[in-house]
Amino acid sequence: MNETTQKNMSVSERKARIRQRYKGRNMDHVQIIPAQLPASIFDETEVKRVAVYARVSTDDPNQTSSYELQKNYYEDLVSKHPNWTLVSIYADEGISGTSLNHRDDFMRLMEDCRKGLIDLVLTKSVSRFARNVEDCIHYSRELKSLKPAVGILYETENIYTLDPNSEMQLAFLATLAQEESHIKSEGMNRSIEMRFERGIFLTPVSLGFDHDEEGNLILNSSEGRTLRLMYLLCLGRYSLEEIAKMLTVLGRKTKIGNTEWNPGSVYGVLRNEKNCGDIRARKTFTPNFLNHKSVRNRGERTQYYEKDHHPGHISREMFVAVQKMLDQMKYRFRTITPELKVIDKGVLKGFVQVNPCWMGFDGDDYLDASHSVLDDADYLKPSLIVRKRRGEMDLRKYQVTRGQFVPSARRISVSISAETMKFSYDAIKEMEDMFYVELLYHPLLELLVVRKGDKNDPHAVKWATYAKDRRVARTIRSRSFIPILYELCGWKEELGYTVTGYVKKQGNEKVLLFYMSEPEIRKWADDRQVTMYPAEWKDEFGDYYHVHQAKSISVFSKDRDWMLNTPGVIAVLPEFTTFSDTWIAEEIEKVMAEIEAEREEERNGREHDTVTAGEA
């Protein structure tokens, strides 16, 4: 039928032709060739190479009986079928079924199937084979697609994967097995959480500790010497590599008996709070019950910390000092033991000297440092009542425009972002020819002060440099102080801030003062930078006395000696002590003597055993 004729036919005529065509033909002229049905799994005429897969999920000795019973059962089952030949029994002990990690025999089974060595796999149940739906279906399909195909018989569920109707049943049962594992995992997590809430912590042994009969941590004196030496060497400014090399040379053993140390193992021991008698529960957790991968807990799960949980080998002061040293090492700063210095007298009393390189402190340390030199009188807020003096104009009813609202290319200010700060040209110009300054911060008053600095002082900051024969501001980078400043001021990491500064002078002494509580906020929006101001500024320009005088009166009173060049003193921080080089060297010598005495005792013991064996 040509295209023109087909177009001219009515719809009813085309339908009639289609019905006529699908009435079929006379089957007397058609030869039917029957399909070859798959042989029954228990067909005694077909030879099958059989493999068995067995698994128990824990290393508990009580589970050994289950493991052996599975093996014995399947050996007997295979022997009852004369056409079955047992290739091997593949078995994984102490391995979870939700993941293929470490399931060595399972992977060996799959490889032998791919090599064509196996025709049939026997296993107890879907949950024994895999509790992960994806893995169960994936490997069943892979074996089914091999040439020749390999079938899996799940005996409990009576599912044979070469059966065309098996996959839906298998998917359903595998899903149930996976959900069962999920419920068990949630139950175990809740059980652990309930233990932690009652102060019942898991206390695995680590270097320096063993368990008593009740499972409590007790001291191991020999390993304790190794621990103490490690902490003393770290305080003595030895690198992790140097500590590891020394421990290896001395033949000191790790908890599992190795005598080869590396920087990573040293670092892990030094970070362990158990060494000072404390315990932190849930330092890691497993977010996915399927892969069992443990990750570091960064606040995603509740943690529990108990001080003086058990006897420790070192003091808490030594532990805290080493943690700060390790924080220094992370950023390749290996200096003296980090210490905070605070001004204890003069107008800058309570101001903490900022060292931009020391990473071992946080906002609480700055607060503690400031508190350490202040007494009750320093906390009394000065009266903000300003009285008109004779001969002066009364400005109490006037307001002045804030400097931030006056467009000007010349303004003393500092711009701060997440890791950098940069002072304006007018700021460095005001401090004359200084290339190095010192930063001081008062966390209680939220005041930042810039005073002259000495290039050789560890607290000195280079804030200016030369460019085209002109002194210009230099970007200051600090991954230590700036995050602390953000923390103390309640700033957001994604935003930038600009703070206006003021000059304070007394005689020949001068400082720059920045009120960090009154910042402008810089934010990028629609490919341009916008500036935002505190909401409370919208209703007033700024009272003359309160805005521009109150804080200056309270901090920089003219009727006192400012003593702007007063050096800082070491702040007394809770649980933090600085250790002298002399003390550290003496303690290292003591521990080394103890270690040598221990080695001598071991040599004498071996010689005695040798003599005794010879006499026998």
Which domains are assigned to the chain?
A: 48-181 (3.40.50.1390), 209-330 (3.90.1750.20), 352-386+394-570 (no CATH)
Query: DSSP letters of 333-372?
Result: ---SSP--EE--SSTTTTPEEP-TT--S--HHHHHHHHHT
pLDDT band at 6 (very low <50, low <70, confident <90, very high): low
Burial of 222 (0-12, 13-18, 19+ CB in 10 A): middle
Query: DSSP letters of 588-601?
Result: HHHHHHHHHHHHHH
Is the pLDDT confidence value at 373 over 90?
no
Q: Tell me: the pLDDT tens digits for 224-238?
A: 999 999 999 998 888
- Say which DSSP state 541 is in: S
* Encoded tokens for 441: 């911060």
pLDDT (0 to 100) of residue 514: 92
* Encoded tokens for 533: 């101001």
Between residues 328 and 344, which one has the greater pLDDT?
A: 344
pLDDT band at 37 (very low <50, low <70, confident <90, very high): very low
Between residues 507 and 533, which one has the greater pLDDT?
A: 507
* Mean pLDDT value of segment 593-601: 89
* Mean pLDDT value of segment 25-45: 62
* Mean pLDDT value of segment 362-387: 69
Query: Which of the residue ranges 275-284, 490-499, 597-606 has the most confident prediction, judged by mean pLDDT?
Result: 490-499
Is the pLDDT confidence value at 589 over 90?
yes
* Encoded tokens for 489: 């001021």
Q: Where are the beta strands (DSSP E) in 420-526?
A: 420-423, 436-442, 447-452, 460-462, 464-466, 471-473, 476-477, 496-506, 509-515, 520-525
Is the pLDDT confidence value at 614 over 70?
no
pLDDT (0 to 100) of residue 402: 60
Q: Which residues contact 218 (CB under 8 A, 6 or more apart)?
A: 209, 210, 211, 212, 310, 311
* Mean pLDDT value of segment 324-333: 67
- Give percent above pLDDT 70 in the chain: 68
* Mean pLDDT value of segment 166-173: 75
Phi/psi for 157 (5° steps) reads -85, -5
CA–CA distance, 69 with 210 (Å, rounded to integer): 35
pLDDT band at 382 (very low <50, low <70, confident <90, very high): very low
pLDDT (0 to 100) of residue 33: 67
Is the pLDDT confidence value at 535 over 80?
no
pLDDT band at 383 (very low <50, low <70, confident <90, very high): very low
Is the pLDDT confidence value at 550 over 50?
no
CA–CA distance, 248 with 233 (Å, rounded to integer): 14
Distance from the Cα of residue 165 to its chain's centroid = 48
Any idea which of 10-24, 344-358, 420-434, 538-552 has the lowest mean pLDDT?
A: 538-552
Q: How many CB atoms lie within 10 A of CB 322?
A: 24
pTM > 0.85: yes or no: no
Query: Which of the residue ranges 45-49, 170-174, 533-537 has the most confident prediction, judged by mean pLDDT?
Result: 45-49
pLDDT (0 to 100) of residue 117: 93
Residue 124 contacts residue 155 (beta carbons within 8 Å)? yes
Alpha carbon dihedral 158, 161, 166, 169, in 10-degree steps, equals 70
Distance from the Cα of residue 266 to its chain's centroid = 18
Is the pLDDT confidence value at 546 over 50?
no
pLDDT (0 to 100) of residue 591: 93
Q: Tell me: the pLDDT tens digits for 183-192?
A: 676 666 676 6
Between residues 26 and 279, which one has the greater pLDDT?
A: 279
pLDDT (0 to 100) of residue 609: 65
End-to-end CA distance of the chain: 112
Residue 235 contacts residue 583 (beta carbons within 8 Å)? no
Q: Tell me: the pLDDT tens digits for 389-416?
A: 555 555 555 555 565 555 555 788 999 9
Any idea which of 67-71, 142-146, 594-598 has the lowest mean pLDDT?
A: 67-71
- Say which DSSP state 250 is in: H
- Give percent above pLDDT 90 in the chain: 18
CA–CA distance, 446 with 517 (Å, rounded to integer): 6
Q: What residues does 218 pair with on adjacent strands? A: 210
- Please provide the average confidence, as pLDDT, over all residues in the chain: 78
Is the pLDDT confidence value at 563 over 70?
yes
* Cα radius of gyration rounded to whole Å, the chain: 39
Residue 156 contacts residue 124 (beta carbons within 8 Å)? yes
* Mean pLDDT value of segment 431-448: 88
pLDDT (0 to 100) of residue 98: 42
* Mean pLDDT value of segment 418-424: 89
pLDDT (0 to 100) of residue 252: 92
